[in-house]
Amino acid sequence: MHVTADRTVCVGAGLCALTAPEVFDQDDDGLVTVLTPDPAAALHRGARQAGRLCPSGAIRTVE
């Protein structure tokens, strides 16, 4: 899996960082930061969930 985030559409809701803190964080402006662009298999479920929960659609996961 590969994870990306489009910071230009991020609204700073923080659901990604709450759902998958090993994969996502927020910068000082509250925008998404991908910590682990190629997460281990154990983190895939959380990364996918974060993508589904993102209100702006900023999170992308590619298998």
The pLDDT value given to residue 51: 96
Return the SS3 of 18.
Answer: helix
The answer for residues whose C-beta is within 8 angstroms of residue 44's C-beta and 6 or more apart is: 1, 61
Q: Tens of pLDDT along 5-59?
A: 999 999 999 999 999 999 999 999 999 999 999 999 999 999 999 999 999 999 9
Contact in structure between 20 and 43 (CB atoms under 8 Å): yes
- pLDDT for the residue numbered 31: 97
pLDDT at residue 25 in the model:
98
The Cα diameter of the chain in Å comes to 30
Q: What pLDDT is attached to residue 39? A: 98
For residue 19, list its beta bridge partners: none
Model confidence, pTM: 0.94
